[in-house]
Amino acid sequence: SLSSDGIISGTPPIQQTITFTATVVDITGSSDDQQFTFAITEGWYCGDINASGSPDLDIADLVYLVDYMFNSGPPPPFLAAADLDGTGEIDIADLVLLVDYMFNSGPAPTCSQAVK
């Protein structure tokens, strides 16, 4: 929806790309058009390695990461959610960070937005 203040809001039902043209008109009647494109993608929580939809990290996330890294298990549905140290790579440092966070009150994960 579009509010009278120009705020676009809502919950998209599916992943999609939306393109629209916005027109502004000033008090003198001059106008300008601008095309916008939004890519709507699925959201994820940093550390939700098994994509359970929960922001709380648990043993299932840890098991999923270990299985992926050491047993050729399936990749995380959102690779960036497993890049717990934000370096852009999923490696042993991510596993160490997760264990430290879960069992030793270590620093919280700080995922990157893209994984190499």
Render pLDDT for 24-53 as a digit per residue (tens, 0 to 9). Answer: 999 999 999 999 998 877 678 999 999 998
Say if CB 48 and CB 58 are below 8 A apart: no
Residue 38 has a pLDDT of 84
pLDDT of residue 108 exceeding 80, the answer is yes
Say if CB 90 and CB 82 are below 8 A apart: yes
